[in-house]
């Protein structure tokens, strides 16, 4: 495999794939490297109904379409390929990829996204894979006819809870506040679903069971009253933690580990751009990641042309 590229894109989610599409179509020799499956967190979205120009579909389907587009335009894509080391500060940047060797490029786009945020409870770790999940698309069908809990109050939590009603007999949405952060139409859709019930202003205390999750223990923030919710499954949707630890000390970040960029997606290092959910911004949607990826790709093209 050729080891020299014009641009290396780290991350194959919506931002990374979009960057790859734009770069490869502009005849920029591009490599996309992802430590997991192409599509990132987008793959976990059971239903996507607000992607412009696309009727209701799934995150997995959008991911596969983007991946085909990137490859058809000439992008080389490596998945399940962890990055072992890198140097992004030199004029000629390099990235060491497990089992693939060292790749060189004139510019790098960092689009490694994030991972689901955890509650940090002992029972959460105990029942991972035996009742506790962070992906409705991956695990929803394991709970056919079962009662489950969905934790969270944002768009993802409510949208995924609605999707889970395809399988579950009952979905109880548990939220720490007495109001939702989701958009009004998302809340309305959840409230009109007969299978969905709500338990607001609750602290999650723990998860219990014998070999498999059986109950979620919560307590009212107002009264302290404890409630055991029968549940064979619990899906946690409380946001994401940016995948930026590998860039600590290299790229400027805030206290949450989100990368600082300007409007052109430029970071503090020349020739290094960042796009998607790992950068500092208020809104995180597939469409905002796609926009970031577009801008990062066009900025990288400008950088390469100016350096030529």
Q: How confident is the model at residue 138 (pLDDT cuts 50, 70, 90)?
A: confident
* Domain range annotation of the chain: 4-115+240-307, 118-236
Cα–Cα distance between 246 and 243 in angstroms, integer?
8
Query: Which residues, in sequence order, are CB contacts of 61 under 8 Å at separation 6+?
Result: none
CATH node for 4-115+240-307: 3.50.50.60
Q: Tell me: the pLDDT tens digits for 172-192?
A: 999 999 999 999 999 999 999
Task: Considering only residues 304 and 1, tell me which one the structure prediction assigns the higher pLDDT.
Answer: 304
Q: How many CB atoms lie within 10 A of CB 210?
A: 6
What does the block give as tokens for 91? Answer: 């004029």
Cα–Cα distance between 202 and 5 in angstroms, integer?
51
Q: Whole-model pTM?
A: 0.80
Q: Tell me: the pLDDT tens digits for 266-284?
A: 999 999 999 999 999 988 8
Would the pLDDT of 42 be above 90?
no
CATH architecture of 118-236: 3-Layer(bba) Sandwich (3.50)
Query: Which residues, in sequence order, are CB contacts of 132 under 8 Å at separation 6+?
Result: 123, 124, 207, 213, 233, 234, 236
Same-fold call for 4-115+240-307 versus 118-236: yes
What does the block give as tokens for 207? Answer: 């998860």
């Amino acid at each position: 495999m050729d080891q020299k590229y014009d641009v290396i894109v780290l991350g194959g989610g919506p931002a990374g794939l979009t960057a790859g599409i734009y770069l490869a179509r502009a005849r920029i020799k591009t490599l996309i490297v992802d430590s997991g499956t192409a599509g990132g967190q987008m793959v976990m979205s059971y239903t996507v109904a607000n992607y412009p120009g696309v009727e209701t579909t799934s995150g997995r389907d959008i991911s596969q379409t983007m991946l085909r587009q990137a490859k058809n335009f000439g992008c080389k894509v490596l998945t399940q390929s962890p990055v072992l080391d890198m140097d992004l500060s030199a004029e000629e940047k390099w990235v060491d990829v497990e089992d693939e060797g060292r790749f060189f490029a004139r510019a790098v786009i960092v689009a490694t996204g994030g991972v689901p945020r955890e509650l940090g409870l002992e029972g959460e770790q105990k029942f991972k894979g035996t009742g506790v999940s962070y992906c409705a698309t991956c695990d929803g069908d394991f709970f056919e006819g079962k009662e489950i809990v969905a934790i969270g109050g944002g768009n993802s939590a409510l949208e995924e809870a609605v999707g889970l009603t395809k399988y579950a007999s009952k979905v109880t949405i548990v939220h720490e506040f007495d109001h939702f952060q989701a958009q009004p139409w998302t809340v309305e859709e959840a409230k009109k679903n007969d299978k969905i019930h709500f338990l607001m202003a609750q602290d999650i205390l723990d998860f219990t069971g014998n070999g498999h999750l059986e109950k979620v223990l919560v307590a009212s923030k107002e009264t302290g009253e404890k409630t055991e919710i029968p549940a064979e499954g619990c899906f946690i949707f409380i946001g994401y933690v940016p995948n930026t630890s590998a860039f600590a000390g290299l790229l400027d970040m805030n206290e949450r580990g989100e990368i600082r960029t300007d409007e052109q997606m430029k970071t503090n290092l020349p020739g290094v751009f960042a796009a998607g959910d790992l950068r500092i911004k208020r809104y995180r949607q597939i469409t905002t990641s796609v926009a970031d990826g577009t801008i990062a790709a066009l900025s990288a093209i400008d950088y390469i042309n100016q350096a030529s």
